[in-house]
Amino acid sequence: MYFRRPQEAADALQVAPSKGLAAPIMLKGTGFEVPQGYCFHPGHTWVLDEGHQNARVGIDAFAGNLFGKIDSIELAALNRWVRQGQKLCTVKREGRSIDLLSPVEGVLVSVNHEVLKNPNLIVEDPYKNGWLCVVKAPELAINAKNLLQGAIVTAWMQNSIARLGATLQQLSPALAQDGGLPVKGLFFQVDASVQQQLAQEFFLA
């Protein structure tokens, strides 16, 4: 497409705005609901194949619940090539930050400006209006082989909740819960050493 005339190339890079993203069908289970047809990176980001090599990317509900509230989010620059598993964005709250990884490889061609203005859309509506960006991913089918998808996603999400409880029981017993969902905003409530271990365990940071 880079050999087309400039306007044609620009048209080819256009993607649907956030208000045009249809609400996903949610699969219910214990813990967090998961959207049908989405693929998930083990670092708790997701990708939705929209065709024409367009991959819409976001942060999943497990991560959003852990963050609870977000002061700001910084995304990789437009037209930058990001690799699968490479830093895609940085979430910040009260002077602390966490890097999250890209679920796919390609060129970042669009960002969700609504999320940049109101980062808490990621927490409130992670799978629709809270999307992060669109990546032009020529090897999306290959990338997807490294992602969690289908029936395994619900089990993986449930396992993440169980692992979080077990991890907190060891690192910070006062914040551990007896079953159920973790305390919202937990990630930024623990001390720096516990936060670092949670980042390594759940966000591969």
20-63 confidence digits (pLDDT tens): 578 899 887 667 889 999 999 999 999 999 999 999 999 999 99
DSSP bridge pairs for 91: 73, 98
123-176 confidence digits (pLDDT tens): 999 999 999 999 999 999 999 999 999 989 999 999 999 999 888 888 877 666
Query: Which pLDDT does position 9 carry in this prediction?
Result: 39
* pLDDT (mean) for 96-105: 97
Domain with residue 49: its CATH number is 2.40.50.100
Rounded to an integer, what distance in angstroms lies between the CA atom of residue 17 and that of residue 112?
8
Containing structural domain, residue 168: 1-205
User: Is residue 18 pLDDT above 90, yes or no?
Assistant: no
Rounded to an integer, what distance in angstroms lies between the CA atom of residue 114 and that of residue 72?
12
Specify the pTM. Answer: 0.86
121-135 confidence digits (pLDDT tens): 999 999 999 999 999
Query: How many domains in the chain?
Result: 1
The percentage of residues in the chain with a pLDDT greater than 90, rounded to a whole number, is 73
Q: Please, what sign has the CA dihedral across residues 131, 204, 40, 31? A: negative
Amino acid identity at 123? V
